[in-house]
Amino acid sequence: MDSLIADIHLAEATHKQDPTNDNFQKLTALRIELRSLLTAKAYRSTQLTRSTFYAHGNKSGKLLARALKAKRQRSFIDKISDDT
């Protein structure tokens, strides 16, 4: 994926230097390829997360403990300010 991003940067620079339709088509094709790779990666990540939560279900364990810890940290009030 890093090489694809480097290719996109190179194609963008080429298109800035010489804005022809051919250069624009190459740049568009590279961007579409990157978008499809990122979409596939996001889909796999979502599926993995869904399967993990499905497998653990409503059981107590590390997954539930981490979720509760994060929720507790978000709702914790560390200081009460008194404006009077």
60 φ/ψ sector (left φ>0, alpha ψ -120 to 50, else beta): beta
Sign of torsion over alpha carbons 27, 32, 38, 40: negative
pLDDT in tens, 14-52: 999 999 999 999 999 999 999 999 999 999 999 998 998
Residue 84 has a pLDDT of 64
Residue 76 has a pLDDT of 78
Neighbours of 21 (CB within 10 A): 7
Cβ neighbours for 70, distance < 8 A, ≥ 6 positions apart: none
Residue 72 has a pLDDT of 85
Q: pTM score > 0.85 for this model?
A: no
Residue 61 has a pLDDT of 83
Give the length of the chain.
Answer: 84
Q: Considering the chain, what is the average pLDDT of its residues? A: 89
pLDDT band of residue 1 (cuts 50, 70, 90) is confident
Q: Which two tokens stand for residue 70?
A: 């994060």
pLDDT in tens, 49-75: 899 888 887 778 888 888 888 888 888
